A and B are shown apart, each in its own frame.
Chain A
């Protein structure tokens, strides 16, 4: 499956790399999910998995958040206006960050969007007009409010106000919300490539209205149910800015500065002065005094009369002296068996750096420099300054100079110790030093480590490392997906468009090559091939429709959630991985802190493991509901297969004043389970006492399916079919093994009861 870089256009199209944005198919009904590939990993059974970052569609986000986000002042021109206004009102209040100010304003607009400034009201009016139009468009539908899932032009590129209601609706579908949530999916689910960009103020509508083109401007935080602007701010105030010195030194005159001439004249004067100095001194070959500031120590400069060749010659002499000194040094002579190796050791950069430093100390006099290379045993004959300058410690007077770096300083025993320690501690040089090589400093270790990396021994250890890394791929080839969609109703085999069972729900076309089921089953709606493509990619058909989010509704939604969760579970540890900079964003929209969905989603975030926020919210809502109502332990098993690690404390912490809707099985459990097992009143008085969950579950399992169905029907009218799905999924999770006969019996029993 995984191949490496052939650039055939066909294969290039199906080649996915890290960093690409892709469509992922999670279910037949649902539109594609949009993800970005962060990492491709080949696992043991040779299939490739991708770690992906989630981008949420609008449909995945809480409606009230969208409402706030859409009406929030996110239009670009207004940013400018507002900034100016702010400057007038409070000229950069010290200490208070801009962030704070902006946030405040947005919260304000959240509360009372009607009393804005004049420009805002203009916009509002415009919006109302738009709304009116949209209403006209959809007048035939009863549930106008139900349909409306967008509220303003905020978050759209320039020129969005020219769109009419339907166009805007379609365009809105291109808006995504980045999340800091990552998950692992199988690469087989990839269905194509798309492009997601950060919404930019300079680009207008047309830049984004291309195929497979999406944009985002906000970050969705599923744990806190907030939308953040992914934007840091530069803080203004005494605490953040540097104090600028008021004045410039006088000697630079204004006019000179203006035309940039100051430098010329000064430099020239200086140059002349230097030139003279050089002339004066160059005769006797002494080196010219360099102009120095107090902040530095000179090591080498090019203003000398030596040619490149002469310097090279000197460096060769330095190496030769080094070779000879190693021959004299007993330590070295035992280490290096051959002359070649000695010469190589003497040619390392440390020798050259030192030689050049000596050359400088000798005032670029080759004779003097050579004398420095083999100083007699007298302190005055050697420039220790050279060592200060380069930071090398190489002195051994009375004989040829010996410069050794860490690689050479270390004995074989020491390097063996080092390798052993490296294996044990990794690159924690501190521990390594403490336990293995206390006579070396950490710096020595670091220097040695980087030099050791160039040796053969490292190459060997690296081989293993690269083998480990082979499982991480750079790109993956995924052939175009050809299996038919389960929703395929009819397919033209002859290549001639066929007439659909109904006109296309989206474009009203009568004929198409393929027809797909769309919408809830009861509605029996169909869309044509083209519209199926649009639907899958944009998550909307050509106009707003009451069944736009049909795939997310009960009961299909629950099933989808279940399978998705199970898949997520199967595909290994998917996890929430916050990016480096959490919390620096600017909150655009958030729900009140006691909003049930918020708490629910927090619980899931802790549980860590969900495919998308909707499902997450749904799942976790039921966890907290469970605590709230202290009843349907069975439901826990139905819905939390992916998040069994949920911390009940987190969910139950602030459950002040909110209502929850228990799902059918939860209600059933209340009705059917005997008082001994579950006494609601009793447990309500003892909120911290654990429920006997196993007993409750068992007693539900033991109940006749027919009785279950009857009870269920009293709670909510449902078709036998629906009930069976719910029931089966419940049984599937609670260990149907206990009563294997349930499933086959369940369905007919339910039907009988009906």
Chain B
């Protein structure tokens, strides 16, 4: 610290006209701030170790704050007016931001899960198994992570919500297709790419509703600032296109979630560590600068074939799509060596308001479809790194076809999000036998050749940095008041199911329950109206038939 008055001001001092050295003032303020930040961080750590949370934690913080103020006083030789304009500044200075440093230590985590999602079955021999989500859930319970976070069951997404991105006809098709009527609509199935990789299975639409509902809820949660990290392992289906299914994905919950986040954030960053390229999300936001998509994936003779280094976006979105093509067998160390600097640079230059991380677990070693060589640590490191920035973060599932490793991975990443260490011994759970023969959490890498040479990775990284340099300083949009935001349009039928039986139904739902005027009654209502109502029935039936005909014609067109 420097005395606030410079030597030249002494004379002025004598004439009782205080003159301050501006440089010294500023320096002192800076010193105070650094010191306060250090104190807050140290106090945060200390209170974390001592287990002081909520009220005792605050008391502890203020206690350390006072101690520090006293230390400052001592340092200034108890002549505060030599250094500060105001005595109280030693206590109050950057109290708020210090409190933030202090507060930022524990993260609030919201976790989304629906007990039904494990029971959807893609079909015999299909590698995608929603059951892995339930396995993760059970592991979380038995590791005791369940009770450390807020656990939510999301409301399923409605048709209207899903058509915020997807085309109406595609969603209508998904809604109506069932295994027993699919032979009638083979033409449409071909058009929407449903059939081979993306089979029609029982409840495919509901499955989409669940995964989208989870991600939308997670996005809302972040928007309302009710959580720092939200997790939805049911989501992350990144291949689905606007009106096309692709790569086991039907409805793109990620795009819907990002659209929701965009209502509150100017810029959203999407990061994809699935082994497959996140083509659905990249395509959805290819021409906008409000979403930056980054994908680290295997490229070359691999599904979906997109994601070349050269694909950087188009129009306004040019250089807002980042693709890091990788080759077979990348290991933890190499992955971290590229992920950390690239994401560091992206976070700095893009400054997103929220981050969505797709944690596809098919980039783990030994995956049924993958060919990377990552372990849980390397995979989880990405979560850890992105969490560090303190930006609202959404973790989503994705690929992963060796289900025991998928549930291991997502359990570990939940623990990372919660800042909790978990034992390597797996706790007993309903699906314990799946994790044999070692019953350990962590997996070891395979002995395969890492075809990503250091040279290749470095050169690619340099090229990516060149692209990032093209980015202007964080882009924004004009602030304008907008009307009713986030109009909640729950699915009417499912809402009914989810409604509290003890409470009066909301009028939206109740209106739906009003019986059709053309309904036949057994009760005493039959009478003079009867003839009329019959007539109306006929008319309405006619109308409806016409309407559906028109609709189907439109579909054909």
Complex Cα distance, B116 from A427, in Å, reads: 19
Q: Which of B124, B147, B264, B301 contacts A249 (CB 8 A)?
A: B264
Contact with A along B11-52 (1 / 0, CB 8 A): 000000000000000000000000000000000000000000
Complex Cα distance, B224 from A291, in Å, reads: 9
CB-contacts of A409-457 with B (<8 A): 426-430, 442-444, 446-447, 450-451, 453-455
Q: Contacts A247-B482, A297-B152; is A242 near B284 (CB within 8 Å)?
A: yes
Q: Which of B151, B225, B353 contacts A266 (CB 8 A)?
A: B225
**Chain B: which residue is nearest A294 at the CB level?**
B488
Contact A234 B217 (CB under 8 A): no
Q: Contacts A202-B462, A301-B151, A349-B430; is A248 near B315 (CB within 8 Å)?
A: no
Contact A92 B309 (CB under 8 A): no
Contact B482 A296 (CB under 8 A): no
Stretch at the interface among A381-389, A523-531, A542-550, A613-621: A381-389
Q: Which residues of A contact B433 (CB under 8 A)?
A: 453-455, 459
Tell yes or no: B168 within 8 A of A by CB: no
CB distance from B399 to the nearest CB of A (A): 14
Stretch at the interface among A257-265, A322-330, A634-642: A257-265
Complex Cα distance, B371 from A296, in Å, reads: 37
CB distance from A433 to the nearest CB of B (A): 10
Q: Which residues of A contact B153 (CB under 8 A)?
A: 296-297, 299, 389-391
**Chain A: which residue is nearest B259 at the CB level?**
A242
CB-contacts of A150-207 with B (<8 A): 178, 195, 197-198, 200-203, 207
Complex Cα distance, B315 from A444, in Å, reads: 50
Tell yes or no: A494 within 8 A of B by CB: no
Q: Which of B155, B431, B451 contacts A195 (CB 8 A)?
A: B451
Tell yes or no: B518 within 8 A of A by CB: no
Q: Which residues of A contact B378 (CB under 8 A)?
A: none
Contact A247 B480 (CB under 8 A): yes
Contact A300 B147 (CB under 8 A): yes
Contact B283 A235 (CB under 8 A): yes
CB distance from B427 to the nearest CB of A (A): 11
Tell yes or no: A655 within 8 A of B by CB: no
Complex Cα distance, B179 from A279, in Å, reads: 55
Complex Cα distance, B222 from A296, in Å, reads: 13
Tell yes or no: A470 within 8 A of B by CB: no
Q: Contacts A241-B286, A264-B97, A442-B121; is A201 near B309 (CB within 8 Å)?
A: yes
Tell yes or no: A96 within 8 A of B by CB: no
Q: Contacts A241-B287, A391-B153; is A430 near B99 (CB within 8 Å)?
A: no
Contact A236 B286 (CB under 8 A): yes
Q: Which residues of B contact A348 (CB under 8 A)?
A: 430
Q: Which of B202, B203, B431, B451 contacts A197 (CB 8 A)?
A: B451
Complex Cα distance, B165 from A244, in Å, reads: 9
Q: Which residues of B contact A585 (CB under 8 A)?
A: 305
**Chain A: which residue is nearest B328 at the CB level?**
A19
Tell yes or no: A290 within 8 A of B by CB: yes
**Chain A: which residue is nearest B457 at the CB level?**
A202
Residue among B125, B282, B306 with max Cβ neighbours from chain A (10 Å) = B306
Stretch at the interface among B77-85, B495-503, B523-531, B538-546: B495-503
Contact with A along B505-533 (1 / 0, CB 8 A): 00000000000000000000000000000
Contact A308 B279 (CB under 8 A): no
Q: Which residues of B contact A252 (CB under 8 A)?
A: 264-265
Residue among B216, B321, B479 with max Cβ neighbours from chain A (10 Å) = B479
Tell yes or no: B477 within 8 A of A by CB: yes
Stretch at the interface among B61-69, B136-144, B183-191, B338-346: B136-144
CB-contacts of A252-275 with B (<8 A): 252-254, 257-258, 260, 263-268, 270-271, 275
Q: Contacts A91-B315, A230-B300; is A207 near B217 (CB within 8 Å)?
A: no
Q: Which residues of B contact A249 (CB under 8 A)?
A: 263-264, 482, 485
Tell yes or no: B327 within 8 A of A by CB: yes
Q: Which residues of A contact B262 (CB under 8 A)?
A: 244-245, 248
Contact B217 A384 (CB under 8 A): no
Contact B455 A203 (CB under 8 A): yes
Contact B304 A260 (CB under 8 A): no
Q: Contacts A241-B286, A248-B477, A302-B148; is A295 near B391 (CB within 8 Å)?
A: no
Contact A391 B115 (CB under 8 A): yes
Contact A390 B115 (CB under 8 A): yes
Contact B243 A295 (CB under 8 A): no
Q: Which residues of A contact B451 (CB under 8 A)?
A: 195, 197
Complex Cα distance, B473 from A258, in Å, reads: 11
Contact A232 B310 (CB under 8 A): no
Contact A454 B430 (CB under 8 A): yes
Q: Which residues of B contact A489 (CB under 8 A)?
A: none
Contact B283 A248 (CB under 8 A): no
CB distance from B85 to the nearest CB of A (A): 24
Complex Cα distance, B310 from A79, in Å, reads: 8
Contact B224 A293 (CB under 8 A): yes
Contact B213 A295 (CB under 8 A): yes
Q: Which residues of A contact B221 (CB under 8 A)?
A: 293, 295-296
Tell yes or no: A233 within 8 A of B by CB: yes
Contact A356 B146 (CB under 8 A): yes
Q: Contacts A230-B305, A241-B286, A295-B488; is A260 near B351 (CB within 8 Å)?
A: yes
Tell yes or no: B118 within 8 A of A by CB: yes
Q: Contacts A19-B448, A248-B479; is A443 near B119 (CB within 8 Å)?
A: yes
Complex Cα distance, B253 from A238, in Å, reads: 19
Residue among A268, A271, A296, A302 with max Cβ neighbours from chain B (10 Å) = A296
Contact A295 B155 (CB under 8 A): yes
Contact B124 A442 (CB under 8 A): no
Contact B301 A296 (CB under 8 A): no
Complex Cα distance, B241 from A236, in Å, reads: 12
Tell yes or no: A695 within 8 A of B by CB: no
CB-contacts of A290-344 with B (<8 A): 290-302, 308, 311
Tell yes or no: B375 within 8 A of A by CB: no
CB-contacts of B187-206 with A (<8 A): 196-197, 202-203
Complex Cα distance, B54 from A248, in Å, reads: 33
**Chain B: which residue is nearest A250 at the CB level?**
B481
Q: Which residues of B contact A236 (CB under 8 A)?
A: 286-287, 314-315
Tell yes or no: A286 within 8 A of B by CB: no
Q: Which of A231, A292, A349, A385 contacts B308 (CB 8 A)?
A: A231
Q: Contacts A79-B310, A247-B479; is A267 near B103 (CB within 8 Å)?
A: yes
Contact B353 A264 (CB under 8 A): no
Q: Contacts A263-B225, A291-B224, A297-B155; is A426 near B121 (CB within 8 Å)?
A: no
Complex Cα distance, B287 from A87, in Å, reads: 13
Q: Which residues of A contact B379 (CB under 8 A)?
A: none
Complex Cα distance, B264 from A87, in Å, reads: 31
Q: Which residues of A contact B124 (CB under 8 A)?
A: 426-428
Contact with B along A190-229 (1 / 0, CB 8 A): 0000010110111100010000000000010000000000
Q: Contacts A248-B263, A349-B430, A391-B114; is A298 near B151 (CB within 8 Å)?
A: yes
Contact A581 B310 (CB under 8 A): no
Tell yes or no: B478 within 8 A of A by CB: yes
**Chain A: which residue is nearest B255 at the CB level?**
A242
Identify 9 new A-B residue pairs, CB closer than 8 A, beyond the known A263-B225, A263-B392, A298-B151.
Answer: A236-B314, A240-B241, A242-B164, A245-B482, A246-B477, A275-B58, A290-B150, A352-B142, A392-B115
Show 11 residue pairs from A and B whose CB-CB distance is below 8 angstroms, ordered by the A residue: A207-B453, A230-B301, A231-B305, A234-B311, A248-B263, A250-B481, A295-B213, A388-B500, A428-B123, A442-B121, A447-B118
List B residues at the A interface (Cβ < 8 Å): 54-55, 58, 96-97, 99-100, 103, 112, 114-116, 118-121, 123-125, 131, 134, 138, 141-142, 144, 146-155, 164-165, 167, 179, 196-197, 202-203, 213, 216-217, 220-221, 224-226, 241-243, 255, 259, 262-266, 279, 282-288, 290-291, 299-301, 303-306, 308-311, 314-315, 321, 325, 327-328, 351, 353, 371, 390-392, 429-434, 447-448, 451, 453, 455-456, 459-460, 462-463, 474, 476-482, 485, 488, 490, 498, 500-502
Of all A-B residue pairs in the complex, the 9 with the closest CB atoms, nearest first, are: A232-B305, A391-B115, A198-B300, A295-B217, A202-B459, A443-B119, A232-B306, A454-B433, A296-B152
